[in-house]
Structure 1
Amino acid sequence: MFEWLTTDPLNGIIITITFFISVIIGRYLRKKRAAHGSKGKLVDPRIKILFLFILIISITLMEHWYFPIGITVICTLFALKSKILQNFSRKMIFPVILAFFIVVIQGLTYGTNKIYYGIPLYAEGLDSGLLIFARVTAAASLAILLLSNTPENEITETMRWYRVPGTMLDISSLMSRYIKAFSAEAKKMKWAQESRGGFSKRSGFSDKMHDVASITGALITRALVRAELVYRAMLSRGWKHDRSFTSHQPLNHNDLLMGFVFTSGIMILLGIDRML
């Protein structure tokens, strides 16, 4: 940048001053935007975690399926409004499949009154399975929506504020950060195995299981080695497992009021469910 001064001093001075002014303005705008974003948070992360915990417990106690389904619909609408519907839907696939599997098992094994929909099913099992399906999808949608709209470090530090053991938080944080790296590593190893004739269509079941076992063993070994290297690197940089990097401010009156309103609303919803 300063070499412009030797060729065209006037133009170089103007460009240099303009550059530094733009850097200062940009830094000021970033700070202002960050401050505005922190003020714009309507709900404190600690209240979010408390609300999530109490609501999930209440969902497991509900006796009617339409309240959990309504919660799932509301979470889907929030995801649509937040423009994360695609990510939200992709993460909901596994809980929905698991809940549907529970419905099938309950319908085939639980109850006394048989009904026939092509195959014999139990009416009590279907009712129980649908209720469990509604509970699972509602709880999963709440957790996914919270995790999608709250940064991971805020969730970790909030759980630390709630006195959750630091070892559990550190393990969960490292797992969430490196699970994508291990998944990418597994794909590379599978491609390498295929390039060497593994997973061939002509291979039998035992040969494919041997290929899977070899990849799994190599991946576990690499994971252990990488975990040891990461742990040593973190220790060399002064990391301690019981250290908190965020200082939480005391909850103000608005946060306490919000928490009271949320808790009261959940209790009222649970009472309505029991009275119906």
Structure 2
Amino acid sequence: MGSPIKNVAVVGGSGNLGRAVVSELVDAGFTVTVLTREGSTATFPAGVVSKAVDYSSVESLTPALEGQDALVSTIATVAVAGQQPLVDAAVAAGVRRIIPSEFGINTRFLGKEPIGTILQGKVKTLNYIHEKSKQNPSFTWTGISTGLFFDWGLEHGSIGLDKATKTATIYDSGNEPYQASNLPHIGKAIAALLKRPEVTTNRYITIASFNPTQNQVLEIAEKITGEKWTINQLSTSEQQQIGVEKLSKGDYSAFSNLLRKRVYGDGAGLAVQGPDNALDLLGLEEDDLEGSLRAWLTK
């Protein structure tokens, strides 16, 4: 890779994950530029430059990426398919490392699962980056799978706990460990891999703040609140059916139903086992599960 990576451009910097990434990159000493849409009123930490671009235009994106060593895309799944101009502009501007908007579940192992239909934008984008990198070896990439966004999911209900009513939704037995990461943890991992780009060149890595089971999370919540919670038991095969039906009508909210089947289903086997967790590679440690739950429950 030669000289160290210093200048980093972030796409989607005002989103939930994007904000955490920008903040961690700034803390780690990188010079950060956020690309925004024309007319965006988003604000960023001191020292962060924002540049308005037209995401569909390579001509608009290329000058905005001039002088950037790396590009991190944190755009939402629905917009992911539109990343091709971004990739072309990154190559044209001489960006050395791209981290596409993977995050979430590992898209390299989707098989024939219905959730794959929704994630095609991610799959195709990474395949396209792969091709570009073969044609131009100085253009490199790193894909990152993070599992569920844990802190964000607590706030938005996708971890299945409702603190107002002390109700937990448990899918299947609740004993399947799943991969989960807090947003700041993902930001720290990105900063760490950009500091040591050579160990993650053209690699798909997997990280996790922790790999809990639904029952463990519930047990800790009950311990912190000192109360028994009400349990609402659901089946992931039912969730899968609901998702498939929604998908057949073009309703992409099917994603959350299909995701539950994929991560919580008994036997899913998606928890990150010791050597697969790239935290060692990046010099990072796991987060504290109880601390993460306490921060949310006492908020």
TM-score by structure 1 length?
0.22
Higher relative contact order (CA 8 A, sep 6+): 1
Give 1 or 2: higher strand fraction: 2
Give 1 or 2: higher helix fraction: 1
Structure with the greater alpha carbon radius of gyration: 1
TM-score by structure 2 length?
0.20
